[in-house]
Amino acid sequence: MSTSTAQLALPPGAAPAPRRQLFVGTAVACVAGTMLIGGMLAIWVLLRGRVVETGARFPVDYIIPEVATNVMLMTIWALCLFAQWAVYSGSRGDRAHAALALGVTALLAIAFINAQAFVYVDMAVEIRADNYGVLFYAVTGAMMAIVVAGLVFTTVAAFRALSGRLQETEILSAHALYWYFAAAAYSAVWFVVYVTK
């Protein structure tokens, strides 16, 4: 069989890959996530205002471990740095550094979750005791879910990038974008939930 015959027998080639589909999809998801956290914080501010109007503090009896929550804020922004480092390394074809960057990203995400667990244990907020408990666990739980989703994203990105598609950096860019969103969301949660007394 000649080469030209073999080529004619092939099915039509695939359409060119859509440009930056994963990146745009991630951006769309981040918009929805922003509305989720924004809406939840708006309800928090509304209900907190009702309590404060009565002259009470909000929260009444709980001491917020500020060191842990501040470290969480620094952690999540540092995490963005490492996610961006993975993009840079990937675009240069530097597998070792990309692996290191993604590994550190995952490690910091786990550290964030660990710190949140510490905050839960240290504050020992009773969900049934007063009106603070439900609000606290709802907002911080939603934030935890966002970080856990980011950790899963990091794992998928690592598999994809390190298994031979290193220089297709779209997934790494989308992954970094997600962590920027998570950091911005946590910054708002940190200010409203942990800083505002």
Partner 1 sequence: MTTIDTRPDAANAAADDASSGSAVASFFVDAAAWATTTDHKRIGRMYAGAGLLALLAAASLGALLGLERAQDSNTLVDADALLQVFQAYRVGLVFAAVIPLGLGLAIAVVPLQLGARSLAFPRLALTGFYSWLGGLALTMVALGRNGGIGGGDQQGVDLFLAGHGLMIIGLLASAGCVATSVLTTRAPGMTMRRVPLFAWSALIGALGMLLVLPVVFGAIIYVFLDHRYAQLNFGGSEGIVIWIGWAFSVPAIIVYSLPAVGVAAEMFPVACRHRQVMRGVSFAGIALVGVAALAATTQQFVHDVTFDTDGESFVRGAVPFLIFAGLPVLGLMIVLGLGLLTAKQGLANGKPSISAPLVLSLVGFDMIVGGVLGNALYSVTDLELIGTSFEEGTVLLIVYGTALGVMGGLAFWAPKLWGRVLPNKQALPIALLASLGAALATIPLLIAGFLDQSGGVPANDDDVSSLLTIAGVDQGVLWNTLSFAGHGLVALAVLAFVGLMLKTFTGAGQVADQNPFGGHTIEWGAPSPAPADNYEKIVTVASPEPQFDLTYEGSRS
Based on the shown chain and the rule CB under 8 A, indicate whether residue 103 belongs to the binding site for partner 1: no
Encoding tokens for residue 53?
Answer: 């109007």
Least Å distance between CB 173 and partner 1? 13
Based on the shown chain and the rule CB under 8 A, indicate whether residue 29 belongs to the binding site for partner 1: yes
Q: Does residue 59 have a cis peptide bond before it, meaning omega lies within 30 degrees of 0? A: yes
> What part of residues 166-195 is at the interface with partner 1 (CB under 8 A)?
none
Q: Give the residue among 70, 58, 82, 45 at the shortest CA–CA distance from 179.
A: 82
Task: Give dist(CA 148, CA 144) in Å, integer.
Answer: 6
> Which residue's CB is nearer to partner 1, number 15 or number 121?
15
Least Å distance between CB 67 and partner 1? 27
Least Å distance between CB 43 and partner 1? 6
What is the amino acid identity at position 122? D
Task: Give dist(CA 140, CA 164) in Å, integer.
Answer: 37
- Compose the 125-154 pattern: x for residues touching partner 1 by CB under 8 A, - for all others: --xxxxx-xxx-xx--xx------------
List Cα–Cα distances, 79 to 29, 104, 115, in angstroms.
19, 8, 14
Considering only 36, 64, 107, 111, the residue that binds partner 1 (CB under 8 A) is 36
Based on the shown chain and the rule CB under 8 A, indicate whether residue 162 belongs to the binding site for partner 1: no
Based on the shown chain and the rule CB under 8 A, indicate whether residue 120 belongs to the binding site for partner 1: no
| Interior/surface letters 148-168, b for 16+ CB within 10 angstroms, e for the rest | eebbebbeebbebbeeeebee
Based on the shown chain and the rule CB under 8 A, indicate whether residue 164 belongs to the binding site for partner 1: no
Q: Which alpha helices (H) appear in the chain, and where do they start and end? A: 3-9, 21-53, 66-91, 95-123, 131-162, 170-189
- Compose the 5-24 pattern: x for residues touching partner 1 by CB under 8 A, - for all others: -------x-xxxxxxxxx-x
Binding site for partner 1 (CB under 8 A): 12, 14-22, 24-25, 28-29, 31-33, 35-40, 43, 47, 127-131, 133-135, 137-138, 141-142, 156, 160, 165
